[in-house]
Chain A
Amino acid sequence: MAIVFIRTIIVYLSLILSMRIMGKRQLGELELSEVVIAVLISDMASHPLQDIGVPLLNGLIPVLVLLCCEVLISGLVMKSIRFRAFICGRPSILIENGKIIQSELKRNRFCLDELTEDLRKKGITDISKVKYAVLETDGTLNALQYASEMPPSAASLNVQVEDFSIPRCIISDGRIIERTLAESGKDFAWLKKQLEMRNVKDAKDVFYMTVDDFDKIYFLAKENNK
């Protein structure tokens, strides 16, 4: 058991280190420690399942140790900027003012084809129009074009537009979601009134009903009750 415990910590730390050295482009969209956890847990937990001769604890202890490591590492990442930089790395600017920074490209082992491919995915074909392209710590590339290349916003055009809010679901498949009803500042009397206005006697006859901050209601009755 102790060997399993120590081995888990060693494997976890060595995977973090090796994947950190491998660089961001290996990560995809997960943070480094999340990738390591995903890789390890899926494999370790399966051993006692495949081999009944292995005590279940041999599978459970590594998972629990990894969980603790992950919580501790993520806590330290939140607390310490230096530790965060060590574990997650720092964002790298690959393009600045329309110019590719070749040293950063090389440092991140990011080839030109990959860079242009990622830019094309964002609808950018002309590198000279990119103000900044940043390779984030999770391995994704974010590109910001020059202000002159950006689509105009309503504010920049001095156009008045209606604001929006997220609709809250208050009835889902016949069930009243009391929490969201209260969050919306509404009560059962209001809901009853709204249902009566739509010729519905019971919330059970409603498939989906939402309300937003501007009291805009979306209502859909159940099909078999129509």
Chain B
Amino acid sequence: MKKELIFGIILAVLFALVIINIYVLNGLCGRLQDLLTDSRRSAEAGDWGKAVEKAEEAEQLWNKADPYTHIVVRHSEIDSATDAFYDLLKALYSEDEGEAKGSYMLLDAHLTSIVGMEKITLGSIF
């Protein structure tokens, strides 16, 4: 029974870790989305300098989390999100309002998708 208990505990620990992973990813993507929201508001207000600053901050945060995200998120999703970050920065540097708007939406969709894939819902399980 000792063996079963050990493996039962391992199973419970694994479950706890995957739940923690959801919270960590949720937190990371939440912070990124907050920064991007601030950036978008600044861009909409015509403050491109602040918009770039916030977007760069978000991009740095995303790159800093790379060692973790590469372990727990599909690499294709990470690459898509990273590309979307650079597309957004490109639009902000060139102060292209229309492209920036689309890039914000695309990046937000990628981040939402990363969180959504890990969230325990009937849709994601089945």
Residue numbers of A with Cβ under 8 A of B are 1-7, 10, 52-58, 61, 64-65, 67-69, 71-72, 75-76, 79
Indicate if the CB atoms of A75 and B4 lie closer than 8 Å.
yes
> B31 near A: Cβ within 8 Å?
no
CB-nearest residue of chain B to A3: B124
How long is the Cα–Cα vector from A6 to B120 in the complex, in angstroms?
9
10 A–B pairs (Cβ distance < 8 Å), ordered by A:
A1-B21, A1-B22, A2-B118, A3-B118, A3-B125, A6-B120, A7-B125, A55-B70, A68-B7, A75-B1
Q: Tell me the chain B residues, 108-123 only, with Cβ under 8 Å from chain A.
A: 117-120
Residues in B neighbouring A3, C-beta threshold 8 A: 117-118, 120, 124-125
Q: How many residues of B contact A (CB 8 A)?
A: 27
Bound: A5/B22 CA distance, A: 12
Closest-by-CB residue of B relative to A74 is B4
B45 lies within 8 A of chain A by Cβ: no
Main secondary structure of the interface of A (DSSP, over half): helix
The complex places the Cα of A5 from the Cα of B120 at a distance, in Å, of 10
Task: Give Cα A1–Cα B17 distance, bound, in whole angstroms.
Answer: 9
User: Which secondary structure dominates chain B's binding surface?
Assistant: helix
Complex Cα distance A4/B118, Å? 9
Does B65 count as interface, using CB distance less than 8 angstroms?
no
Given A55-B74, A75-B3: 10 more A-B contacts, CB < 8 Å:
A1-B17, A3-B120, A3-B124, A3-B125, A6-B125, A55-B71, A58-B74, A64-B10, A68-B7, A75-B7
Question: How far, in whole Å, are A10 and B122 apart by their CA atoms in the complex?
Answer: 12
Q: How far is the CA of A136 from the CA of B111 in the complex (A)?
A: 53
Find A72's partner among B4, B15, B19, B118 (CB 8 Å cutoff): B4
A52–B75 Cα gap in the complex (Å)? Answer: 8
Any A CB within 8 A of the CB of B73: yes
Q: Say whether, besides A2-B120, A71-B3, A75-B4, A53 and B75 are in contact (CB < 8 Å).
A: yes
Inter-subunit contact B74/A53 (CB<8 Å): yes
Complex: A72 Cα to B14 Cα, angstroms: 15
Find out whether the CB atom of A2 lies under 8 angstroms from the CB atom of B21.
Answer: yes
- Flag if B72 contacts A57 (CB, 8 Å): yes
| Across-interface contacts of A57 in B (CB, < 8 A) | 71-72
**Lowest 7 A-B CB distances belong to which pairs?**
A75-B4, A2-B18, A71-B7, A68-B11, A53-B75, A1-B18, A68-B7
